[in-house]
Structure 1
Amino acid sequence: MIPEGKTFDRKSARYDIGRLADILIAFANADGGTVALGIKNREYEGISLLSEQKKNDIEQIGTQRIIPSIDVAIDKKKIVNQKGKNDEIWLLSVNPADGKIYTNSRDEVYLRIGDETHKVTFEERKNLEYDKGIRVFESQAVSDAFLEDLDSDTLNQYKELYGFTGDNIWDLLFPKGLAKRVRDSNGSFSYQLSVAGVLLLAKTPTAFIPGARIRFIRYEGREAKLGTDMNVVKQVLIEGPLPKVIDRASKEVESQLRTFSSLDLKTGKFTNVPEYPKGAWLEGIVNAVTHRSYNYTGDDIRIVMFDDRLEIHSPGSLPAVVTTANIRHTHYSRNPYIARALTDFGWVREFGEGVDRIYKDMSEFFLDEPVYDVDANSVNLTLKNNIVMRSFRKNNDLESRIGSDWDSLNFIEQAAIGMAYEQGNIKTKDVLKQVENYSATSVRKALKHLTEMGILERIASAPTSPNQYYKLIK
């Protein structure tokens, strides 16, 4: 049985019709969704126990209980109920609203967040009203884009996702929000690709929506420099249908990441670790592509890599009810049709899970929490790599300075060199904190040995100075 979540709920046939309307309102104000009516305690209760009047009320729920009226599609599925009798469950579905906010008769607004129906506060409602204006952009028709402009590989993949084998591609694109139906003055209609359809499927979306691309920049060092000191190592513009853009951006980032040796202080052995957990940085890219404000046509998504951090810039502020305080567990799609399609393509995680996964993945790698810097025009995500770990990323440098002696050094000696390389200088107590289960005598002996080898230099005003420290000899 499908679990309840962002776009699905289950309710008993006897569920209060007013509260049922609130759930449909919440779905419509978010990403759309379906309520399976006639399921109680995960068992088929069925609909037949309801009176004809109650069934009629449910069928009229979109016009009688929701303001403004909304089209509620009802799919009646035949089942055998828990008593062994033929029955039905009703699947009530609504699409995401374009530029509207739906309320109940008490002028209350609801929004679906995770698997909960959330009553919107006054402040959240103001933000939602503002964001609905941005959401409309995704559904606008692009009059000068034609089927010939679509990328055949991506379109074929999209067809396969839904098992579509028909001759009229509009039959697939229109219900998914990737096309608009346009009626002329004579009453006949034709179809046009929507902004979402162009972004997802066109060969060159930037021909119609400027800024719909990713700019990848790799700098050498920890800051961007200009002029004769310019330190750009690589700069790439990534354009195309969104599924291909994400794939190419992922490959660009991965090509610049290194697998490094990190000293495991528990085992005393070096292990290979990636610079950042892939789940974290890839989720950051996918979120930017999925939720950016595409009506900000003068800006693009930027992935900027420095030695000590990875930054992902997304045009447009956080959507609606999402804030930096609740971003881990609150979800609202600014572009619901894009979000759903990228979910089906396999790029977007289960709704609401992605940002929380970034935090968890960074934590599991013992890295700093992700940093979100938000203003009125952009969301900027910064992932920092581990400074101590980075001392061992410079293996070539360490090897050139220490040579073949490195492999002959013991665990404490290797740890001390790594710390001195990154921190500049170290004290006995610093090393002792890092190497568990070793005595102060062993640490002092290791530091003395490194000094005798000419690797470390001891700095002290007196032989027994309490402020003595060690540093690498240049």
Structure 2
Amino acid sequence: MNIPKYDKKDLLSIPEGKTFDRKSAKYDLNKLANILIAFANADGGTVALGINNKRYEGVNLLAPQKQNDILQIGSQRIVPTIKIEITRKPVVNIQGLTDEVWLLTVQPADDKIYANKKDEVYLRIGDETHRTTYEERKNLEFDKGIRAFESQIVNEAILDDLDEDTVAEYKKLYGFEGDNLWDLLFPKGLAKRIRDKNDHIIYRLTVAGVLLLSKYPTAFIPGARIRFIRYEGREAKTGADMNIVKQIRIEGPLTKMLQQASESLEAQLRTFSSLDTKSGKFIDVPEYPKGAWLEGIVNAVTHRGYNYTGDDIRILMFDDRLEIHSPGGLPAVVTTENIRHTHYSRNPYIARALTDSGWVREFGEGVDRIYIDMNKYFLDDPVYRVDSNSVNLILKNNIIVRSFRKNDDLESKIGADWQKLNFIEKAAVGLAYEHGSVRTRELSAAVDNYSMSSVRNGLKHLTTIGILERVASAPTSPNQYYRLIK
């Protein structure tokens, strides 16, 4: 994994999160060890030691013995011993004196789990250092075997197998101008360094390196492809009734596969007309929000179990839904209940490369964005169906409601009154039409620049002129709602 080299400005300004934390030089060493353990068990990371309340306090205030304890923390407080890269950054401390901040960096562990002297295992989730439960630890142990696959050497792959355009972009991404490509690939986890029987150092590409940079990854890793299939109707049929109308097989470096998959899917999407509750006008909207379906594809490519070589990523498009199939179950501590806010990289080297190249959102934001984007377009929440062998994301397009132009339909139902309605009233009708009903607070949230009394007056007027009807079990029922009069 490529841990960024933070300069002095970054140390104070970058947010703490999945791979970065700031601590005072006087921070408890056992707790510091737990943070490093959490980083190593997740995606790797860096602790900037000597910063207190976003001010440089430095490390010179520590006694020599305390400084030495920090230098020995990887062997004295972590099991098994972990290698910690320590970079000293000169700073001017809050007293105006020359000082240092120590950057303690650990790489992600491939095939081992780190613990403290009490045999407690920690994992970095967002900006928190989380102590794992017994069940989470078991899941983590299982997932380490899958994660290790990313770092395995692919003996048959050589530099001549790499895609020239993709390598050029990768060099440009990191500003690499050297002649020896191994000097770029090795620190990023895309190659390994080994000694032959004559004690000569040689390099070999890893699975991550092949997936990201090879012209033909499937020559070495069967199943490292995406298949896009468009069906006519709402189910897949076989034999004489087969209803596949489009099928595309996508192979190549991961970034090129993502680009082609994005273009292939976008070409098949339809547009609908929907009411914009902010403007009160009808606008053309896509069948699915791009942020949602693209995030689903990127997540599948980034987090799939590549050791499942007999299966591939599949994007299945039906009339009423989009399904994205990713081989391998959910990684480690991630469950269908916490997937919206919990992150763990099954393939940290791939995840870092795709993050740096702009495909992956900031760690932990992606799945939450799918929910937000679907909700923005009045679509159902995404559905995750998970088993031990795959993760399946389902996005529903609500085609029954959106399959005709809303403007013409609503005007035909309401007649000349439609043009007489104000912004709040049009928004109320639109929400009632999209969802089947509208509640006062739902309408208030949609037109958030208006007062609650204006919202109530709008709903009252719509019932008075016979467009909406109020449904309630009692005059002051808290569960009352409004719906279009049929």
Provide the TM-score with structure 1 as the length reference: 0.85
8 A contact 2:225–2:313 mirrored in 1: yes
Q: CA deviation at 1:266?
A: 8.7
Do residues 280 (structure 1) and 282 (structure 2) align? no
Q: CA deviation at 1:438?
A: 3.8
Q: Write the mapping of 1:79-118 to structure 2, written as runs, cut at 5 A.
A: 79-118=91-130
Q: 1:392 to 1:414 in 2, by over 3 A?
A: farther
1:264-286 CA distance string (max 9 Å, x none): 68977532111111111110000
Unaligned runs of at least 5 residues, structure 2: 1-12, 419-431, 439-457, 469-484
Higher Rg of the two aligned structures: 1
Aligned twin of 1:46: 58
1:14 to 11, 26, 32: 26
8 A contact 1:262–1:389 mirrored in 2: no
8 A contact 2:24–2:50 mirrored in 1: yes
| Number of aligned residue pairs | 424
What secondary structure is seen at the aligned counterpart in 2 of 1:262?
strand
Q: Write the mapping of 1:386-405 to structure 2, written as runs, cut at 5 A.
A: 386-392=398-404
8 A contact 1:262–1:392 mirrored in 2: no
Aligned twin of 1:412: 414
Q: Which amino acid aligns with 2:209?
A: G
Q: Tell me the distance in 1 between the aligned counterparts of 2:93 and 2:109.
A: 34
Q: CA RMSD in A?
A: 2.5
2:84 to 55, 63, 72: 72
8 A contact 2:230–2:247 mirrored in 1: yes
Q: 1:166 to 1:430 in 2, by over 3 A?
A: closer
Q: Greater shift after overlay, 263-272 or 235-244?
A: 263-272
Q: Tell me the distance in 2 between the aligned counterparts of 1:379 and 1:184.
A: 40
Q: CA deviation at 1:393?
A: 6.1
% of aligned pairs identical?
71
Aligned twin of 1:37: 49
Q: 1:244 to 1:327 in 2, by over 3 A?
A: same
Q: Tell me the distance in 2 between the aligned counterparts of 1:414 and 1:245.
A: 51
Q: 1:266 to 1:318 in 2, by over 3 A?
A: closer
Aligned twin of 1:327: 339
Aligned twin of 2:218: 206
Unaligned runs of at least 5 residues, structure 1: 396-405, 417-428, 445-468
2:167 to 155, 160, 176: 155
Q: CA deviation at 1:64?
A: 1.2
8 A contact 2:319–2:399 mirrored in 1: no
Q: Write the mapping of 1:22-421 to structure 2, written as runs, cut at 5 A.
A: 22-263=34-275, 269-392=281-404, 410=412, 412=414
8 A contact 2:273–2:406 mirrored in 1: no
8 A contact 2:288–2:397 mirrored in 1: yes
What secondary structure is seen at the aligned counterpart in 1 of 2:66?
helix
8 A contact 2:272–2:403 mirrored in 1: no
Q: CA deviation at 1:387?
A: 3.7
What secondary structure is seen at the aligned counterpart in 2 of 1:93?
strand
What secondary structure is seen at the aligned counterpart in 1 of 2:27?
coil
Provide the TM-score with structure 2 as the length reference: 0.83
Q: 1:266 to 1:115 in 2, by over 3 A?
A: closer
Q: CA deviation at 1:228?
A: 2.4
Q: Write the mapping of 1:451-470 to structure 2, written as runs, cut at 5 A.
A: none
What secondary structure is seen at the aligned counterpart in 2 of 1:144?
coil
Q: Tell me the distance in 1 between the aligned counterparts of 2:255 and 2:359.
A: 8
What secondary structure is seen at the aligned counterpart in 1 of 2:375?
helix
Q: 1:85 to 1:374 in 2, by over 3 A?
A: same
Q: CA deviation at 1:186?
A: 2.4
Q: Which amino acid aligns with 1:145?
A: A
